[in-house]
Structures are given as C-alpha cells and as structure tokens.
C-alpha cells in the first residue's frame, strides 16, 4: 500500500455557523480523564485479534506502565484534597472519587482480558504461567529447590512489634503481608509480618525441560514465595496473607531558587523518590479486609485507593515473558528501517547538506542517519565545535559516546543536559558528570525551565569561513526509542536557521538576552503567541470567505488559551483537524462551539510522537515542526522550538506522510465525539483497512540486503 503524493485534500465541507461576538462557553474535557481515555485506546490493541499474541501482552503491560506513571505524577493533588476534606485548587473529593472510579474500571478490564483471553490463548500455544495448585509433584519439587537456593537467602521477614515498626516499603516493589497465629520465640503474639521481596529477583522463572515437557512453562516469583510462606515463619501458622504493592508520588520537586547546585540537589532527591507519599495500594483479590484495612491505615490511604487485582500486582513485570518466549510467529514481523532516502551512503553529510535540507522520517527511516552525521562531525578534523541538547538518551548511548570521543579529539563540545527529564534524571546526571570529567562544557539550561528542545549544531572550518550544520528534531536523541516512536529529523545548512540555533545555544549557556531570531519560534518567549497569531490569521481569513485550513499533529492538547483560539477560528469558518495521540481537552464537533473542529487519535504499532503544525490561507501554506506539545508547561515553563519547513517538496512530503496519512487512516484511528468519548474508525482492527503506519512501512521497506540502521 502506498500513500498519495497529491496535495492535501480538504475534508468534506462542513457548514460553518455564523460568527458570534459572544460565543457560547466551552466546557473543556477533564485532563486526567483524557489521559485515562488514551490508555483505554492503548488497551484496545491488547484486545485486537489482528495483533499477534505476544504483542497484545505488550500493550497490556504498556497500559500498566502508563498507569504507574499516572499515579506517580497525577494522583497526589487529588489525595491531598481527600485528606484535607476540602477543595485544593481544581481538585476535590468528588474529583478524586471520579478519577478512582474510572481507574478501577480500566484496571478491571485489564485483568479480565489477562485472565479470560490472553492467558488461555498463551496456553493454547503451549506457554503457561503455572500456579502452585496446578503444579505436579515434580514441578513442586523443582520450585521448592529453586526457592531454597535462589530466593530464601535474600528474604528477611519482619514481625511487627514496638521494636520492629512497619518497614519502609519502596515504590512499586513486591511485598507480602501475613497474619500469623501462635507466639514468637519470645512468647509474644505479634500477628502481622511483612516480607519485602528484593528487586534483583526475576519476577518470572522458566522451568527446565525436565519438568515442563514439551511446553514452555513459567512460575511467578510471587507464587513461589506464596507456596513457601510458612517456611519463613517456623513454629507459626500462616493464616491470612496477600502480596501487595504500593505506588508513591515520584515527581521530584526541587526549589531551584534555593539551591546552589541543581545536580547535587537532584541526586539527593533521587535517593528519596522511592519513599514518597503513598498514592495507591494494590493487593491480591483474596486479601482479607483485616489485612487490607491494616495496609490502608499504614499508608494513610482512603479506601478508593485500594485495588484488589485478580493476578500479579505488577503486570508491567510480565514484559519479562515477552523476552523469555522465543516465538517469532507471535510477534509483529520485524521492521528494519531503511537508510534515509535523501542520503547517499558513504558520501559526506556536509557535502550533501550544501545541496539542500534532508528529512528523516523515523522509524521508517533509520536513526543511523543522525548518528552518521554526528560521527562524521566527530571524526572530521575541520569540525571545531559541537553543541547539543540532551533530554532523554538512555543509560547506554552511542550518541553520548560519540560526544565523549569528540572531546578526546580536541573539539569544543558543549552539551545542554536537562537534569529534570522525568524518570531519566539519574541517567542524565551520570552523563553530565562523565562529560565534565573529560573536559566538555556542560550546562543545565535556564533555572525554572526544562530544556525540551532537540538540536545539534556543528561548526566547521571551510576555507576562510566557519560554516554551521544543524540537526533539529521532534523527538529525543535516543536510538532505542527512535525505532519505536514516529519523529521527524531535519538536517540543514540553511544559514538563517543555523544562526538561530547558535543564538539559542548561547542564550542557554550564558543566559544573556536572546537576540531576535530569524526563523525559529522559541518558548517560553514567543512560541505560544506566534502560534495563536497564526490561528487567528487563519480564522480572520475564513471569516472573509477565504478557503482556510489548520491541521495540527501533537501528543497532547491541554493549553486553554490555544484551545480557545482554535475554537474561535473554527467558529469563524476555518476547517480544523487535530491529530492528538494522547490527552485532548478540547471537545470536538460540539454544536455552536466546535462544529468545524475534528479530533482524532492514532494508536498504532509505533508511538506517534512527531509534532507538525500546518496553516493554509488560500494557496499560501505554512508548516512548522516542533519539539512542543500544546500544553501550558511546554509553552511557558520549557525551552521549546518550532521551525518552518520552507522547501515545498519537503513540506509536501511531511503533509502527505504525517497529516494526510493520519486523516485517511481507518485502521488505527479513533475519533473524538462531542461528549468526550472516542469512537473507533470504521475499519479499526481490520488488517485490510488503510493504516498510515502500515502504508509507510511498506513505502520505506528496505530492499533485501540493503537494510541499514
């Protein structure tokens, strides 16, 4: 299947209501519920029969991982309102109860799917997680030997009494609680004991062929410990017991105005992250009320924060099953990205960029094009300086190794490291220290702002001139996620654009006054205002009867001022399409309010991550790529970039591949309804239907023997 290269076609005509000077009020959708609705759409991939079985399990695990982060970041203000018994800003007791009800429903759906569909389907493939009650004698003997050899030496059960208070339980760790009868060695009736399970132990263990026969059998660590709880308490009888897991608030809060060394403050904060305020408690479905209430009291949680689950308390750890099962037929067919179509392998990047800009559409085209650009810059003796922003690269990164090599080769390497990239703080701190240790110039951006912009700038001596070459991206410099996220990389030697990049780097390092930029829109200075100006210009043209169009692709839309601008332009007659993968608070097609606004979400094999902003008035088109989603924090509390694509051929390519393809998708798309619910596109789940990602994989499929990346 291929995509049309025709100019962007308008949607069917939508009658525009007359513009009202006093518009009806807009009731924005709730942000937390919009995030949960996104996870419902992800969970649908775990339900789809056209998705390979192991991949269905992967999507189930992704939802659990997303919910973990939701609680770690979003739940604390709701709980504060509950515990105070009053309104805390926008948070109330009612908002917490509504959120908890929605999450309980989602979690129940997960475990129903896990128990009733996925695990039986795995069993039909000869792959099973065998519970204690279903093990035969030989399997029980093997499990017992494994427990004594690998598990028991690492467990220290704690009986609770005045000298042994409730232990510190780390965020998202596996634990057991048991109620004991009888007396301890000192004749005391301390009935509650806690067993903390070390993270170093694997959560799934594959049984050897001698006890599994021709099947692929596993046992869960929780069932191994459950079967041997009484062995941990000799002379006592274990009555009630349950596994449990607590999730804690984990968003690091550092008062940057009151610290002299942000890196040190963050490293200290990381030590306490695992022991923040409890926000959720998960227990086994059969956990007694006595034990559940005891745990709720210990963690100071309301009953709505208790989740009784019919299965493992941590579905995220089932990703180990994906790694342990060797069944290619149960996975997506492997996708090998092709080498970027605009680049000639073996030819100098600098030479090619002198003839024009290059776009790389990841993951259909390989991130190796970006690595190759940096590698040539590191190895080229004419390159004098390399500047780069780092937001997320991962704990192991060829890109960071290349920067270190650049320092060793005597180049001036400046790296803007964002230390506060959520849940990547430790890796970024380690990279910053590693680079500083060998002489790189490492800066941490601007106090109070996250540096989320993605840019790499190379300065090269060519004759008597210094020439700049740049890379800008909608995504992170992470080779692993570059295989999983859709993003646009832009390589350029355009003097106006690279001069802007240079000025932004100088601003971030020196915090000097930002000079006037030629091509780049920069947050928090003028990105939001420039985008609203473009929206208003399109709306004004539409009110004059001119054919006007806005198409925006992003991960989230929650900024109220920008949503209001879109609603105004829509009422003026502009046709507006929003492709928002995740949370969208702007309701679509509400009569008299957002009639001209359509919102759709693409949930596919790859995570849609590119940010593309398209504006058209008559035949005049503007298209911008950006690092920013349309959220208040991105516009006002982060350093973000948006930059134009001026080459008409490259602009048309982005329109075709990122916008038209998504608007015509009837396989992986969901459309937002006026009431805030999402409706599947007509062909969702039908492998014969048109899917944008499948079409692009087909377009960029590498010829056999020519794969790169």
> Residue 461, SS3?
strand
| pLDDT for the residue 449 | 79
CA terminus-to-terminus distance, the chain: 23
Least Cα distance to 219 among 144, 301, 327, 109 occurs for 144
Q: Give yes or no: residues 558 and 621 share one domain.
A: yes
Contact at 8 Å (CB) between 457 and 373? no
CB atoms within 10 A of CB 188: 10
**403 and 541 part of one domain:** no
**Is there a contact between 319 and 294 (Cβ–Cβ < 8 Å)?**
no
On whether residue 28 sits in a domain, the answer given is no
Instruction: Kindly give the interhelix angle for 93-113 and 76-84, rounded to the nearest 10 degrees.
Output: 130
362, 484: one domain: yes
Residue 231 appears among annotated catalytic residues = no
What is the number of structural domains in the chain?
3
Q: Are residues 153 and 277 in the same domain?
A: yes
What is the layout of strands, in order, in the sheet containing 237-248?
158-159, 192-196, 175-181, 237-248, 278-284, 306-309
Question: Within 13 Å, how many C-alpha atoms sit on residue 405's CB side?
Answer: 14
Percent helix, percent strand, percent coil in the chain, to nearest 5? 40, 20, 40
Angle at Cα 200 formed by Cα 170 and Cα 308, nearest 5°? 50
* Rounded Cα distance, 610 and 633, in Å: 18
Give the Cα separation of 338 and 367 in Å (integer): 9
The domain that holds 570 is classified in CATH as: 3.30.870.10
Within 10 angstroms of residue 601's Cβ, the number of other Cβ atoms is 23
Domain holding 642, by residue range, is 523-699
For residues 144 and 226, membership in a common domain is answered with yes
Among 239, 242, 243, 241, which residue's Cα sits nearest to residue 182? 239
Q: Which of 266, 296, 330 is the last residue of a domain?
A: 330
Residues 87 and 212 in one domain: yes
Q: Are residues 64 and 157 in the same domain?
A: yes
Query: Within this chain, do residues 314 and 440 fall inside the same structural domain, yes or no?
Result: no
Domain co-membership, 560 together with 650: yes
Of 458, 488, 516, the position where a domain reaches its end is 516
554 and 618 part of one domain: yes
Nearest C-alpha neighbor of 172 from the set 64, 46, 60:
64
Last residue of one domain, picked from the residues 330, 361, 392: 330
CA distance 107 to 99: 12
Residues linked to residue 644 through DSSP beta bridges, in sequence order = 624
Residues 527 and 510 in one domain: no
In a domain, 219, yes or no: yes
Computed from CA positions of residues 176, 179, 182, 187, in that sequence, does the dihedral angle turn out positive or negative? Answer: positive
Beta strand pairing call for 383-390 and 412-417: parallel
Q: Do 520 and 497 meet the contact criterion of CB atoms below 8 Å apart?
A: yes
Whole-model pTM?
0.90
In-domain check, residue 13: no
Q: Tell me, what CATH number does 324's domain have?
A: 3.30.1840.10
Tell me what pLDDT residue 443 has: 82
Q: Are residues 215 and 311 in the same domain?
A: yes
Element (H, E) at 107: helix 93-113
Q: Virtual CA dihedral for 424, 426, 428, 430, nearest 10 degrees?
A: -160
Asked whether residue 242 is assigned to any structural domain, the reply reads yes
Task: Look at residues 487, 513, 582, 572 and name the one whose alpha carbon lies nearest to residue 74.
Answer: 582
- CA–CA separation, 247 vs 281, rounded Å? 6
Residue 570 lies in a domain: yes
Name residues of the chain where pLDDT drops below 70. 1-23, 86-89, 162-163, 183-189, 251-274, 394-396, 419-428, 431, 445-447, 683-685, 702-709
Contact 362, 377 (CB under 8 A): no
The pLDDT value recorded for residue 487 is 97
b/e burial code for range 664-686 (CB count within 10 A of at least 16 → b) = bbebbbbbbeeebebeebebbbe
- Please tell me the predicted confidence (pLDDT) of residue 95: 86
Whether residue 48 is contained in a domain is answered as: no
Residue 31 lies in a domain: no
* Pairing of the two strands 175-181 and 192-196: antiparallel
Q: Could you say which of 452, 471, 490, 690 is catalytic?
A: 452
Identify the CA nearest to 370 among candidates 505, 501, 451, 479: 479
Report the DSSP beta bridge partners of residue 18: none
Is the residue at 664 inside a domain? Answer: yes
């Amino acid at each position: 299947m291929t995509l049309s290269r025709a100019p962007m076609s308008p949607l069917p005509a939508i009658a525009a209501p007359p513009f009202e000077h006093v518009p009806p009020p807009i009731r924005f959708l709730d942000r937390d519920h919009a995030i949960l609705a996104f996870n419902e759409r992800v969970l649908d991939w775990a339900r789809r029969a056209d998705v390979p079985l192991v991949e269905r399990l992967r999507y189930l695990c992704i939802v659990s991982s997303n919910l973990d982060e939701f609680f770690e970041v979003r739940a604390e203000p709701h709980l504060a309102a509950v515990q105070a018994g009053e309104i805390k800003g926008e948070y109330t007791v009612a908002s917490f109860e509504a959120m908890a009800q929605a999450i309980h429903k989602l979690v129940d759906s997960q475990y129903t799917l896990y128990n009733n569909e996925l695990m039986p389907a795995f069993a039909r493939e000869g792959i099973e997680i065998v519970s204690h009650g279903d093990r035969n004698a030989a399997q029980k003997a093997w499990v017992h030997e494994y427990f004594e050899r690998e598990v028991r030496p690492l467990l220290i059960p704690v009986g609770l009494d005045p000298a042994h208070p409730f232990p510190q339980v780390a965020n998202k760790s596996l634990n057991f609680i048991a109620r004991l009868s009888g007396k301890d060695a000192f004749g005391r009736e301390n009935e509650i004991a806690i067993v903390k399970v070390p993270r170093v132990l694997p959560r799934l263990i594959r049984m050897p062929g001698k006890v599994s026969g021709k099947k692929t059998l596993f046992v869960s660590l929780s069932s191994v410990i459950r079967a041997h709880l009484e062995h941990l308490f000799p002379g006592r009888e274990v009555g009630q017991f349950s596994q449990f897991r607590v999730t804690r608030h984990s968003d690091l809060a550092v008062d940057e105005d009151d610290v002299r060394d942000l890196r040190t403050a963050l490293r200290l904060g990381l030590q306490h992250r695992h022991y923040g305020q409890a926000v959720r408690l998960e227990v086994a479905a059969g956990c007694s009320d006595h034990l559940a209430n005891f745990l709720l009291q210990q963690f100071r949680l309301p009953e709505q924060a208790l989740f009784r689950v019919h299965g493992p308390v941590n579905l995220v750890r089932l990703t180990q099953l994906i790694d342990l099962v060797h069944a290619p037929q149960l996975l997506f067919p492997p996708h090998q990205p092709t080498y970027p179509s605009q680049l000639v392998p073996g030819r100098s990047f600098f030479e090619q960029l002198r003839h024009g800009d290059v776009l790389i559409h990841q993951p259909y085209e390989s991130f190796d094009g970006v690595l190759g650009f940096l590698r040539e810059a590191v190895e080229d003796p004419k390159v004098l300086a390399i500047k780069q922003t780092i937001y997320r690269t991962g704990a192991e990164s060829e890109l960071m190794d290349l920067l270190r090599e650049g320092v060793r080769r005597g180049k001036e390497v400046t790296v803007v490291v964002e230390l506060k990239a959520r849940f990547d703080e430790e890796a970024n701190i380690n990279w910053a220290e590693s680079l500083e240790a060998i002489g790189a110039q490492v800066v941490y951006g601007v106090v109070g702002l996250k540096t989320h912009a993605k840019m790499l700038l190379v300065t090269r001596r060519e004759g008597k001139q210094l020439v700049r070459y740049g890379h800008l991206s909608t995504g992170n410099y992470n080779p692993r996620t570059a295989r999983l996220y859709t993003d646009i990389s832009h390589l350029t030697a355009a003097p106006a654009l690279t001069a802007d990049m240079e000025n932004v780097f100088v601003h971030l390092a020196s915090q000097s006054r930002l000079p006037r930029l030629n091509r780049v829109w920069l947050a928090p200075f003028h990105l939001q205002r420039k985008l609203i100006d473009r929206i208003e210009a399109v709306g004004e043209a539409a009110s004059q009867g001119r054919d006007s169009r806005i198409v925006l692709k992003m991960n989230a839309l929650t900024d109220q001022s920008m949503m209001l601008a879109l609603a105004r332009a829509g009422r003026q007659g502009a046709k507006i399409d929003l492709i928002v993968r995740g949370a969208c608070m702007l309701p679509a097609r509400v009569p008299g309010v957002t009639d001209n606004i359509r919102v759709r979400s693409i949930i596919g094999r790859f995570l849609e991550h590119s940010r593309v902003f398209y504006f058209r008035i008559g035949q005049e088109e503007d298209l911008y790529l950006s690092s920013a989603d349309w959220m208040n924090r991105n516009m006002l509390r982060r350093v973000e970039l948006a930059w134009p694509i001026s080459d008409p051929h490259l602009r048309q390519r982005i329109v075709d591949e990122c916008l038209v393809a998504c608007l015509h998708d009837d396989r992986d798309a969901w459309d937002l309804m006026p009431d805030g619910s999402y409706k599947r596109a007509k062909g969702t789940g039908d492998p014969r239907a048109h899917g944008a990602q499948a079409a692009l994989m087909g377009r960029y499929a590498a010829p056999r023997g020519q794969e790169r990346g």
